[in-house]
Amino acid sequence: MDACNDRLVAEIEHVNPRVIVILGGTAIRAVIGPDEKRGIKELRGQRLWSDRFHCFVLPTYHPVAVLRMPSLFSDFGRDMQKIETLLKLPLEAPKTAPPRFEVVETYERAMQFCEFLSWQSYVSCDIETDYVERGCNLISVGFSWADGVAVILPRRLFNIPGVLAALQKVVDLPTLHLIFHNGKFDVEHMAISLGLRVRVDEDTLLMHYCIDEREGTHGLKALAREYLDAPDWEADIRKYLPKRSLPFSTIPETVLFQYQSYDCDYTRKLFHLFQKMLEEEGTERPYRTILIPASEAFTHIENHGIRIDRAYITQLRDEMGPKIQALGDELHDMAMDLGLEPSRIPGGKLNPNSPMQLQIVIYDLLHCPPFAGSRTTSIDALAAYRERHPFIGKLLEYRQVQKLYSTYVTGFLDKLDVNDHVHPDYMLFGTVTGRLSARNPPMQTIPRKSIFSIKRMFIAEPEHVFFEADYSQLELRVAAHITQEPALLDAFTNGLDIHRRTAADVFHKAYADVTDDERYIAKLTVFGILYGRGAYSLATGEMNCGVEEAQAYIDAFFKRMPKLRAWTYEIADRAIQDGYVQSLFGRKRRFPFVHPDTIAEIQRQAVNTPIQSPASDICLLALIRLHNELTARKWGYVHFSVHDSIAGSVRADVQTEAIALVRSIMETPPFESNVPFKVDIKVGPNWEETTSTK
């Protein structure tokens, strides 16, 4: 590109275009200039102006990237549509006036603003904090009620007696609708830092999630650029934050508050735009009935947190540290016995965390062939070569203990507050199907069984008992409800083991005569079909058999369940024809790029989404109801949800009534159904040591 730059410039000047479309990251430097450090992901879709060529510049993805990642097609298509708009604009650098903002510093002005705010209907709200971590310093609270205007309330204003109470009175008004972007973050910080109780009436992040369910597409600045051609208002603050570790309070207030005024202004603008788009998309229902109530519930759930046994987790740390050291020593000795020369490794000591050193042992000394064409030390490679030498088995054990130690022991210890609670951040927008995800700490990946019991660290509140309520075969029950397959309905109505019943039908045996191996094959087949997997996937995966044998199991299964089979074909065809599938609760899974190379994957996801998505929402809606009921009655708390289960604490003196309430709420689906939805409930002092209860 550098070598051809003069020729490129000459050609552009000869054509004299109104718009230059940049395809991919390589072309950015050639057109915008060598000093541009941002990549295509940050720049795509942004309306830029080139003084050099006196025209508009529109970066977008390269078509080859779209073919490799079909999910990018929506972005690419919207960018192409922008070309027509740019061609109609005056050929001059865009001029966007920054929002006007006022910083309130006195009691008198604060009272005037609160009075003014009380008469407004839809107002956006945004906070600025030093970092994004829980409990960090809150710098300011901002509001916007009309285009191009904002008011900023700095943290010091709330030290004036009466200001906080006045604002609390206003935000409690039912006539005031507060609009946020990722409001759960803002209201949690206001509650922690100011004691201000604020509800999230509207959330543009969650609105956009119902418009575009793809992960990583919901940032405020990116959305404002995408839909409103907003300027890059982050540019002014970047020079004050040369290191990501610097707090936002490093930024001069005038610059920071201007930045915040942009946040407030564009949050409000996006709300009015997205409101119309939700109606057009037909996805307002999940936003109103699921996501906004869930955001409210998780605000309280996260603030309360999960109690951790500090003594036990400290004990784990003290036990696992020496264990990791001992495993590392064993690996070193084994490597030396295999012929590893100390001179080939720094310090003469094997580092089990060094892929380069492990490659020497695994591929040079043990002569393992390259895995999938490379000298990788991934878990998949180690699992495949485990039987070749005890070194690899020992390395797998080391990695397991190391992972438990860093993620769940020291990781959780670092997150503990003064009351021995952790406060995970639950993301309602982290998956395309609506499955809940969590981070800081990662609750969704807690191992159910491991060398050291991690679940044991999660304990009940004082004078409470811990409970876990787990839906029994929730996705299969959803499939029975949707397809009305008689074989599934009969099994669930009569309380039979669905996998044993399926195996009995497929293998032409009496229910009681089905072996565990046959039940296992039936289970793999059932879930494989629900997840859109074919014979090759099952054969080369868990079944470990020939493709023809796996296909025979699938054919036998479908022969016994014709309604389920017809539904899978119908939903797969509908996804190709319509470009999307929609769940029971109104969520959409979109497939904008239908191509011969993508049809098989689209059909697989199309079959899975209408099952997995409602299953997730059934559990989520039950969690919301359960949280509301337990807190209203002061009987206990919901702590977290993992997959199809809900965990929490209930008071020991009302355990019987509380567990009955948990069962009643979770076993009553939010729709009429002839399928029983069953829940298995366990109680105990902690998550590990629980026993079943009726």
Report the C-alpha gap between 495 and 501 in whole angstroms. 10
Say how far apart CA 426 and CA 443 lie, in whole Å: 9
CB atoms closer than 10 angstroms to residue 622:
25
Domain range annotation of the chain: 5-88, 100-281, 310-415, 425-474+615-693, 485-608
**Cβ-count burial 216-251 (b if 16+ within 10 Å, e if not):** ebbebbbbbbbbebbbbbeebbeeeeeeeeeebbeb
The CATH number of domain 310-415, selected from 2.60.40.10, 1.20.1060.10, 3.30.830.10, 3.90.1150.10: 1.20.1060.10
Whether residue 436 contacts residue 444, with contact meaning beta carbons closer than 8 Å, is answered with yes
Return the pLDDT at 517: 83
Tell me which CATH homologous superfamily contains domain 485-608. 5' to 3' exonuclease, C-terminal subdomain (1.10.150.20)
In sequence order, the 6+-apart residues with CB closer than 8 A to the CB of 345 are 351, 354, 357, 360
pLDDT value of position 593: 86
Give the per-residue pLDDT at 687: 96
| b/e map 54-75, b = 16+ CB within 10 Å | ebbbbbbbbeeebeeebbbbbb
Cα 401 → chain centroid: 26
How many Å apart are CA 607 and CA 589, to the nearest integer? 11
Measure Cα distances from 386 to 92, 333, 396 in Å: 65, 18, 8
pLDDT of residue 543: 67
Query: Domain 100-281 is in which class?
Result: alpha beta
The pLDDT value given to residue 421: 96
Q: Is the pTM of this model over 0.85?
A: yes
Homologous superfamily, domain 5-88:
Uracil-DNA glycosylase-like domain (3.40.470.10)
Query: Quick check: 209 and 429 in contact, CB under 8 A?
Result: yes
- Alpha-carbon distance of 308 to 459, in angstroms, equals 6
514 to 498, 499, 518, 524, 559: CA distances (angstroms): 12, 10, 6, 15, 19
Segment-wise mean pLDDT, segments of 10 residues, the chain, 694 residues: 75 91 86 81 87 91 90 90 91 90 98 97 97 92 97 97 98 97 96 96 97 88 92 89 90 97 98 97 96 96 96 94 94 92 84 92 92 90 91 94 93 93 91 86 83 92 97 93 93 88 81 86 78 75 74 81 90 93 95 86 88 95 97 97 94 97 97 96 96 88
Write out the DSSP string of 506-551.
HTT--GGG--HHHHHHHHHHHHHHHTT--HHHHHHTTS-S-HHHHH
Architecture of the domain delimited by 425-474+615-693: 2-Layer Sandwich (3.30)
